Amino acid sequence: MEHRPLGRTGIQVSRFGLGAMVLGAWGNTDPAACDRIINAALDAGVNLVDTADTYADGQNEEIVGAAIRSRRSEVVLCTKFHHPVGDHGDPNRRGNSRRWIMQAVDDSLRRLGTDWIDLYQAHRPDPDTELDETVDALTDLVRAGKIRAWGTSTFPAEELVAAHWSADRRGSVGPHCEQPPYSILCRGIERDVLPTAQRLGMGILTWSPLSGGWLTGKYTREEPTPPGSRGATEPDHFDVANPAKFGAVEQLGAVAADAGLSITHLSLAWNVEHPAVTAALIGPRTEDQLVDLLGAASVRLDRDVLDAVDAVVAPGTNVNQADTGWTPPALDAARRRRP
């Protein structure tokens, strides 16, 4: 497994990281199987494990923490804050305020059973919180030793720039990493986020490199949506009635076949080929899926294959804008109408 520098942190991470979201109540509910998946990934050379406090209301962090406890020093452990944890209506137990960050990090450390988090990430932007407040709070956590570095997830390019401006202006620590959605079907970040991150010396960890299962061949025109798949549980987001996606996947299947690859391996290898991308997060629900996904670790794509992919989905293009994972508040009707 190739390892790459995570921005300018000095931390080296594997070309593929383990996204743990579907281990637990949101996917594989067998704790022993989840433990085996995490440790099998570590045995295969994966050293980056990514979770979030909101996944299964903290259960996912507990599963990850238990699995890596005896191997903590091997793992670059990443988690996130922002979304509410648990079913409650408390508006102060969410977002990117100092008040919530200071509580959320201690809650995550307890669930993970560790003294430090390697990469602590703001899960989404928070337009109701002054960015200076968030940057200063995370800087204090770095200096206190509770986290080694901090990052963002699904932030637009202008927010990354603003965070660095804030840090420079205030003598604080800017974000070290961004975690955006990125796949052959969702390439919009090539226009702004990726070049901005490169300019700022930030690492990039991509989520949903297989576009929620679209780039495994799971969804076809002929077959109904598999029960329990994200296409069934989140039909608006994964838009299984979108003919453009079916057409693109069919063409990509032909590109993969010509290259002697599965569409899954083609899509993962393509993802980490971009020079701005540090690692792609794979999210296996079963041990067999992990074995298959890790098969992409040795795949390298030549220029002809990359050009063929570009001919199917043009650079900088999102086949479905909803796959970008966040809609700027400025697009809300209330923000676009004079009172």
> How large a percentage of the chain has pLDDT more than 90?
87
Which of helix, strand or coil describes residue 284?
coil
Residue 103: the pLDDT is 98
pLDDT in tens, 185-239: 999 999 999 999 999 999 999 999 999 999 998 888 887 677 777 677 767 666 7
**H helix or E strand, kind and range, residue 177:** strand 177-179
pLDDT score at 238: 66
pLDDT of 17 reads: 98
Each residue's pLDDT tens digit, 2-59: 999 999 999 999 999 999 999 999 999 999 999 999 999 999 999 999 999 999 999 9
**DSSP-derived 3-state class of residue 123:** coil
Q: Determine the average pLDDT of the residues in 135-145.
A: 98
Residues serving a catalytic function are 55
- State pLDDT tens for residues 80-98: 999 999 989 999 999 999 9
Task: Find the Cα–Cα–Cα–Cα dihedral 4, 9, 10, 15, rounded to 10°.
Answer: -10
Q: Quick one: which of 261, 243, 239 has its CA closest to 252?
A: 261
Give the domains, in start order, of the chain with CATH numbers.
3-335 (3.20.20.100)
**Paired tokens of 58:** 């903290």
Mean predicted confidence (pLDDT) in 170-177: 98
**What's the whole-model pTM score?**
0.95
